[in-house]
């Protein structure tokens, strides 16, 4: 089986998609005219220095100062533009067109002359000026990455979980085979009556919410007076490969809700889910609602999908053959039994959604120039991969991304219950990021039409991570809030009536959350309670497990 099939990448039909003869003829004529003009211009320029090229990969003077290199780069840019235009002219349905465009863009990015020593004058000049030292270091770093199994995006030796990332003080107050529950030490004399439970995505480590003290959403919530609990997922190993979606709901999300209620001594708690963690949280609350239980006083969903009608770039990876392939290689249908989806495969897939920034940039810097990547906590977290159990992952692919059944009342049976998310009664704060390529903001907005409780939708600037992790003190970016309480079905109609506000959305969320958190009371002097005592200091063992 090819590596492409094993990775579940989109498969193109045996006959390549066609372009109408008239469109192809027009593109060819335009290409020949531009290529001829470029050749003539290069002959006129001769040995004279050309103008800087409008692409950061060729911004160094070594490119514009060398007529041959400049011509190669300009031809590459022309060819890239023409291939993109050809991809736009492909005849077929939307998914086919998106797959063709994605595949063409992957080839374009990989084919850049900047990626190859023989064509990169900047790397060649550096090799000469350092007497080959840059190439020697590059080979050493290449060998190191081969041993690690991935392209290094940061100096991984500069960080240690619990030492300089994930440092907010707390204790593990509960654990089972799926997760550890962290309770954070209060930073205020009084705390709100209702505790707050955060459920992060299980496809990443929780400490994206606690990278550094000045950008930690966890620390911010503690500073606002919330008794804060966070699920820290176990990084599955071979002993966990048979875990199912139901296990993640019943034994993790629902169990975490129960424990937080027991420790807090409250009938209801405030809840927050981020990305897939939000999908898990909503599913758990839907299961509990079917049992007549409503433990959430409020629900916050950050860049979360409940309606999977359209999901941006990730749509191209999902169709019936791709899901079936996963089911027979990783899921319950696998001949040898369930397997793990390896974390590095997930990380590589997400990196190639933005290959110039997250792959080729480091190939050039690390290997051709011999420049060690600088320490960057976000990229350290990004490379700290997590595995997923095959059955859980396959269920998620089929019933959400492929068949979009989570939004349909009564369509799914989860943990023995008919699932109906509209039965969740709690008010909901729904956040989307305007430039999110993982959960497009219109997809996040569609949750407003799935849930029936009182809802507030807020749109933040930037992407999937930078939009969420945007502390008020930084005074960066902006967010949009609707003028009216109504949330129309059309996301654009909502946006047309929204008002942009400078700075972080955190302050708006904090005020909303405070209105559901209850009265203030003295902060607890110790973590947990008599039943759930502190097991070890935060961040705990589970988050330190490597894939």
Strands (E), 159-315: 170-175, 179-184, 190-192, 196-199, 228-233, 269-274, 296-302
Write out the H or E segment, with its range, that includes residue 482. Answer: strand 478-482
- The answer for residues whose C-beta is within 8 angstroms of residue 311's C-beta and 6 or more apart is 305, 318, 401, 439, 440, 443
Look-up: residue for tokens 């209702």? 194
User: What is the distance between the alpha carbons of residues 102 and 219, in angstroms, rounded to a whole number?
Assistant: 39
CA 430 and chain centroid, separation: 17
Q: Does residue 84 sit in helix, strand or coil?
A: helix
DSSP 408-426: STTS-EETTEE--GGG--S
Q: Quickly count: other Cβ atoms within 10 Å of residue 81's Cβ.
A: 14
Nearest 5°: CA angle at 103, between 101 and 107? 115
Q: How far apart are CA 461 and CA 511, in angstroms?
A: 19
Sheet holding 196-199, edge to edge: 498-502, 478-482, 455-460, 428-433, 296-302, 269-274, 196-199, 228-233, 179-184, 170-175, 536-537
Residues paired with 35 in a beta bridge: none
Find all residues with CB under 8 Å of 118, minimum gap 6, and list them.
none
Query: What are the DSSP calls for 345-384, one per residue?
Result: HHHHHHHTTSHIIIIIHHIIIIIIS-PPPPP-HHHHHHHS
Closest CA to 302 of 185, 392, 428: 428
Among 111, 30, 20, 123, smallest CA distance to 72 is for 111
> Which are the catalytic amino acids?
275
48 phi and psi angles, rounded to 5 deg: -70, 150
Residues in the chain: 547
Q: CB atoms < 10 A from the CB of 174, how many? A: 24
Residue 502 sits at φ, ψ, to 5 deg, of -70, 150
In whole angstroms, what is the distance from residue 510 CA to residue 517 CA?
10
Backbone angles phi, psi at 317, to 5 degrees: -90, -10
* Angle ∠(139,140,146) on CA atoms, nearest 5: 85
CA distances from 399 to 142, 284, 392, 503 (A): 40, 15, 11, 37
């Amino acid at each position: 089986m090819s590596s492409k099939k094993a990775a579940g990448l989109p498969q193109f039909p045996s006959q390549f998609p066609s372009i109408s003869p008239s469109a192809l003829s027009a593109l060819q004529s335009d290409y020949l005219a531009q290529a001829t003009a470029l050749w003539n211009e290069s002959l006129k320029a001769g040995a004279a220095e050309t103008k800087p090229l409008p692409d950061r990969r060729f911004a160094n003077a070594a490119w514009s100062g060398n007529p041959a290199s400049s011509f190669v780069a300009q031809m590459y840019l022309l060819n890239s533009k023409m291939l993109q235009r050809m991809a736009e002219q492909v005849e077929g349905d939307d998914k086919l067109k998106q797959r063709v465009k994605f595949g063409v863009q992957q080839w374009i990015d990989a084919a850049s002359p900047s990626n190859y020593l023989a064509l990169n004058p900047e790397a060649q000049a550096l090799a000469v000026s350092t007497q080959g030292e840059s190439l020697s270091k590059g080979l050493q770093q290449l060998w190191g990455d081969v041993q690690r199994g991935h392209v290094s995006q940061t100096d991984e030796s500069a960080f240690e979980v619990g030492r300089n990332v994930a440092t907010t003080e707390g204790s593990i107050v509960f654990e089972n085979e799926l997760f550890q529950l962290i309770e954070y030490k209060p930073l205020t004399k009084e705390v709100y009556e209702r505790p707050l439970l955060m459920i992060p995505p299980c496809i990443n480590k929780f400490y994206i919410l606690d990278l550094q003290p000045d950008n930690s959403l966890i620390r911010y919530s503690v500073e606002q007076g919330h008794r804060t609990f966070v699920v820290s997922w176990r990084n599955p190993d071979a002993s966990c490969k048979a875990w199912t979606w139901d296990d993640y709901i019943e034994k993790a999300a629902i169990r975490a809700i129960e424990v937080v209620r027991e420790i807090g001594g409250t009938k209801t708690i405030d809840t927050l889910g981020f990305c897939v963690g939000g999908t898990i949280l909503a599913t758990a609350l839907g299961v509990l609602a079917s049992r007549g239980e409503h433990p959430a006083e409020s629900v916050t969903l950050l860049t979360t999908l409940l309606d999977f009608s359209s999901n941006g770039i990730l749509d191209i990876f999902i169709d019936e053959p791709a899901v079936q392939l996963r089911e027979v290689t990783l899921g319950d249908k696998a001949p040898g039994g369930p397997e793990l989806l390896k974390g590095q495969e997930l990380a590589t897939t997400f990196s190639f959604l933005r290959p110039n920034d997250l792959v080729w940039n480091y190939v050039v810097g690390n290997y051709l120039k011999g420049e060690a990547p600088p320490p960057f906590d976000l990229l350290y977290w990004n490379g700290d991969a997590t595995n997923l159990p095959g059955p859980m992952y396959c269920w998620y692919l089929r019933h959400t991304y492929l068949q979009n059944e989570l939004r349909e009342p009564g369509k799914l049976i989860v943990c023995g219950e008919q699932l109906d998310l509209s039965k969740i009664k709690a008010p909901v704060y729904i956040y989307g990021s305007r430039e999110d390529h993982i959960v497009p903001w219109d997809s996040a907005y569609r949750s407003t039409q799935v849930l029936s409780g009182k809802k507030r939708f807020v749109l933040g600037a930037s992407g999937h991570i930078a939009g969420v992790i945007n502390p008020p003190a930084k005074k960066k970016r902006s967010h949009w809030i609707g003028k009216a309480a109504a949330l129309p079905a059309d996301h654009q109609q909502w946006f047309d009536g929204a008002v942009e506000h400078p700075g972080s959305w955190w302050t708006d969320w904090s005020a909303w959350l405070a209105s559901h958190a209850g009265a203030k009371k003295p902060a607890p002097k110790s973590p947990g309670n008599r039943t759930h005592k502190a097991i070890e200091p935060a961040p705990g063992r589970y988050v330190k497990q490597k894939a």
